[in-house]
């Protein structure tokens, strides 16, 4: 029986996805990207899914694109950028999704693996994870978003270093940037990731989804446009959600005398 390229496990309201090409260090091919893209749609449509976590089977999170697929497409007269358009589109859908995504890294997160992590809302990593853009190590340029998203995530200087050298750095080197939410020993990686997912899930709902969409919409926008978008999002959320009732209840709880034993 052929194994699916992405394993799906529902842990309560947390959907746990595992990239499942361990023999290829979870290299991205068409089947894996199609399965991942489908999960964006399925998770957003599922009222019982509050958070999506994505990790990798075997020794690595994801070591990038599948070179065999690149060469196969090229031999068939199809430019590999056709495949990478699907990769880029999938990662942008993750960024824009109503449901938060959390990347759980171990082993290697390189090239396309880094770009997948950059598309997620939070990152949790084992302290031994090697992370980098890596495209130039093989004469390639990025096409899944790292040239756009990496500078915002780790800062201009570190991004240029990683992009223009192809260097791989341990997860601990990214701690000062704040991009990785938690860096922990690998034996406690999954437990830590579940705690992060739980914290995110506890605030799930229409307001969180609206805020996530706002954050995507204002990325790269000029300040005046972004500030107006923020005001518009506040106005829509106030109108569409029972915010006033929630505030009334909160203030009522504060003013109600507490009984003592």
Q: What is the CATH number of the domain that holds 93?
A: 3.90.226.10
How many CB atoms sit inside 10 A of residue 193's CB?
A: 27
User: Is there a domain that residue 153 lies in?
Assistant: yes
Same domain, 189 and 169: yes
Residue with the larger pLDDT of the pair 185 and 3: 185
pLDDT band at 1 (very low <50, low <70, confident <90, very high): confident
Q: Which two tokens stand for residue 249?
A: 């209840």
Statement to judge: residues 99 and 224 lie in one domain = no
Domain assignment of residue 1, yes or no: no
Instruction: Check whether residue 128 and residue 218 sit in a common domain.
Output: no
How does pLDDT run across 200-254, given as a tens digit for each residue? 999 999 999 999 999 999 998 999 999 999 999 999 999 998 999 889 888 987 6
Q: How many domains does the chain have?
A: 2
- Ranking 50-54, 152-156, 243-247, 250-254 by mean pLDDT, the lowest is 250-254
- Phi and psi of 79, rounded to 5°? -70, 135
pTM of this structure: 0.93
Kindly state whether residue 261 falls inside one of the protein's structural domains.
no
Residues 76 and 127 in one domain: yes
Edge-first strand order for the sheet with 130-132 is 108-110, 130-132, 169-170
189 and 216 together in one domain: no
In a domain, 109, yes or no: yes
In the block, residue with structure tokens 């009984």:
259
Whether 257 shows a pLDDT value over 60: the answer reads: no
- On whether residue 260 sits in a domain, the answer given is no
Nearest alpha-carbon partner for 91 in 136, 47, 44, 146: 146
For 77, the 3-state DSSP assignment is: coil
Q: Residue 158 falls within a domain, yes or no?
A: yes
- pLDDT value of position 253: 72
Dihedral angle over CA of 161, 164, 166, 171, nearest 10:
20
Distance of alpha carbon 151 from alpha carbon 163, whole angstroms: 10
Does residue 113 lie within any of the structural domains?
A: yes
Rounded to an integer, the average pLDDT of 59-83 is: 94
Token readout for 156 is: 């201009």
- The domain of 215 spans 206-255
Do 220 and 100 lie in one domain? The reply is: no
């Amino acid at each position: 029986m052929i194994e699916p390229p992405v394993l799906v496990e529902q842990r309560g309201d947390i959907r746990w996805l595992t990239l499942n090409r361990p023999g290829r260090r979870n290299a991205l091919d068409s089947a894996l990207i199609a399965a991942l893209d489908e999960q964006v749609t399925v998770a957003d449509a599922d009222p019982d899914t509050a958070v999506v976590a994505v990790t990798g089977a075997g020794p690595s999170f994801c070591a990038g694109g599948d070179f065999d697929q690149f060469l196969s497409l090229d031999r068939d007269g199809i430019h590999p950028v056709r495949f990478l358009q699907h990769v880029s589109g999938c990662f942008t859908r993750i960024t824009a999704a109503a449901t938060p995504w959390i990347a759980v890294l171990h082993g290697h997160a390189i090239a396309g693996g880094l770009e997948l992590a950059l598309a997620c809302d939070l990152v949790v990593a084992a302290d031994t994870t090697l992370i980098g853009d890596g495209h130039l190590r093989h004469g390639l340029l990025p096409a899944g978003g790292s040239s756009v998203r990496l500078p915002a995530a780790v800062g201009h200087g570190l991004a240029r270093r990683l992009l223009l050298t192809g260097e791989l750095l341990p997860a601990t080197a990214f701690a000062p940037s704040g991009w990785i939410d938690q860096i922990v020993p690998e034996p406690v990686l999954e437990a830590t990731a579940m705690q992060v997912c739980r914290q995110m899930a506890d605030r799930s709902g229409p307001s969180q989804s609206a805020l996530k969409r706002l954050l995507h919409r204002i990325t790269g926008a000029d300040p005046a446009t972004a500030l107006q978008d923020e005001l518009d999002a506040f106005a829509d959320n106030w109108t569409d959600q029972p915010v006033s009732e929630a505030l009334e209840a909160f203030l009522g709880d504060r003013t109600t005398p507490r009984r003592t034993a």
